[in-house]
């Protein structure tokens, strides 16, 4: 039985507690939060769980094997490092940390102590994204041309990170999961409209060694909530709408054909192919529940997580580079390995 401690019972913590309590092979034994009223909610719903306002008390417990951290991004490193030093396996809410240097230190500490550290990038565990990964890896799309995403809504404003670190991180985790090719450079632009707050509207463009481009639009000031992604390939194309209840993924048998007939050099060399559209059946299991189950499995077996700290580091590096580019009005920034 994996005995879990949860640090943070604000927005995401209750979801983690519920899912780990429902996961075979796991049991939440302690919850820590600085707000007493939140801990009262824990005790009301889960009388068996012990609570504390001091996370150090939680980390010092012998009846905790692993810790899940659901706190502001600026606290991720200190809490995760303290948990690793205390000999606990660690699950960190996205992103892994607020800098790549800190992320590397966490990876090194976990490796030294032979502990699992995993990032709670939930989208790779959704039925939709897993199906997209299956389609892309099978070659059904042909050569992938682009990934184009809109992820916008009204709020929630974060006090310690900009909209890229809050919303674009989801698309970056999806890209890292479905594509074997990784981006080599990034350009980003953005703007802040609220005094004293970080950028609330931003646009990222990712470039690859291959003729692939990824574009991500994120916005905290949209009057409507949109979660739409287009993935174009030479053979087929995907429309992914995460807010759609019944047909989140639609696959279009549409594309282009190119002719290289030098005899007809002055004629149009592009032809259009129009075929059927279908929507595949998706696994309806709750993504966070699958993530919790996967974390338990990785701790038990030592298997590298799907959303490992290595993938978390790659994503943090992109977030850093995108922020640097945004501060320099879109200058192209190369990504370090």
Cα separation, 149 vs 122, in Å, equals: 17
| Residue 69 vs residues 94, 127, 192, 265, 292: alpha-carbon distances, Å | 9, 24, 28, 61, 13
The topology (CATH level 3) of 124-286+317-334 is: Dihydrodipicolinate Reductase; domain 2 (3.30.360)
pLDDT digits (tens, 9 = 90+) for 241-292: 999 999 999 999 987 666 665 555 455 566 677 778 999 999 999 999 999 9
The structure tokens listed for 178 are 């479905």
Structure confidence at residue 265 (pLDDT): 47
pLDDT over 80 at 81, yes or no: yes
3-state secondary structure at position 93: strand
The rounded percent of the chain whose pLDDT value lies above 70 is 95
Look up the pTM and report it: 0.94
Which CATH superfamily groups domain 2-122+288-307? NAD(P)-binding Rossmann-like Domain (3.40.50.720)
With a CB cutoff of 8 Å and minimum separation 6, the contacts of 100 are 313, 316, 317, 320, 336
Give ∠ CA 308-311-316 in degrees, rounded to 5. 125
| Residue 22 vs residues 195, 201, 263, 288: alpha-carbon distances, Å | 43, 37, 67, 11
| Residue 101 vs residues 70, 111, 314, 332: alpha-carbon distances, Å | 21, 16, 11, 21
Structure confidence at residue 336 (pLDDT): 81
Sorted by where each begins, the domain ranges of the chain are 2-122+288-307, 124-286+317-334
Average pLDDT over residues 85-111: 98
The answer to whether the bond into 322 is cis (omega within 30° of 0) is no
Q: What are phi and psi of 188, to 5 degrees?
A: -145, 145
Q: Do the Cβ atoms of 113 and 134 come closer than 8 Å?
A: no
Cα separation, 248 vs 131, in Å, equals: 11
pLDDT digits (tens, 9 = 90+) for 39-55: 999 999 999 999 999 99
pLDDT digits (tens, 9 = 90+) for 154-166: 977 888 899 999 9
Pairing of strands 201-207, 185-191: antiparallel
Structure confidence at residue 157 (pLDDT): 80
């Amino acid at each position: 039985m994996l005995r879990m401690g949860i640090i943070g019972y604000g927005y995401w913590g209750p979801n983690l507690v519920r899912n780990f309590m429902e996961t075979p092979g796991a049991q939440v034994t302690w919850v820590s939060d600085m707000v007493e009223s939140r801990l009262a909610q824990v005790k009301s719903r889960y009388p068996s769980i012990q609570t504390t306002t001091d996370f150090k008390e939680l980390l010092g417990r012998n009846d905790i094997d692993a810790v899940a951290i659901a706190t502001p991004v600026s606290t991720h490193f200190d809490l995760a490092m303290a948990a690793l030093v205390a000999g606990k396996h660690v699950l960190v809410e996205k992103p892994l940390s607020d800098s790549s240097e800190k992320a590397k230190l966490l990876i090194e500490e976990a490796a030294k102590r032979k502990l699992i550290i995993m990032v709670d990038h939930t989208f790779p565990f959704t039925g939709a994204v897993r199906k997209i990964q299956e389609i892309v890896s099978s070659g059904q799309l042909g050569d992938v041309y682009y990934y184009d995403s809109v992820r916008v809504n009204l709020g929630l404003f974060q006090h310690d990170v900009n909209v890229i670190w809050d919303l674009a991180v989801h698309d970056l985790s999806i890209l890292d999961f479905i594509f074997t090719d990784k981006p080599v450079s990034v350009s980003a632009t953005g703007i802040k409209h609220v005094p004293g707050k970080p950028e609330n509207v931003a646009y990222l463009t990712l470039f690859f060694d291959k003729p692939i481009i990824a574009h991500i639009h994120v916005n905290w000031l949209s009057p409507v909530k949109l979660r739409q992604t287009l993935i174009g390939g030479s053979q087929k194309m995907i429309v992914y709408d995460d807010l759609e209840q019944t047909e989140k993924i639609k696959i279009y048998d549409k594309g282009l054909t190119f002719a290289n007939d030098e005899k007809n050099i002055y004629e149009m060399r592009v032809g259009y192919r129009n075929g059927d559209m279908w929507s595949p059946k998706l696994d309806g299991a709750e993504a966070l529940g699958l993530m919790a189950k996967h974390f338990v499995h990785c701790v038990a077996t030592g298997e590298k997580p799907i959303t490992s700290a290595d993938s978390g580091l790659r994503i943090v590096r992109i977030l850093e580079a995108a922020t640097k580019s945004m501060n320099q009005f879109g200058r192209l920034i190369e990504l370090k390995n």
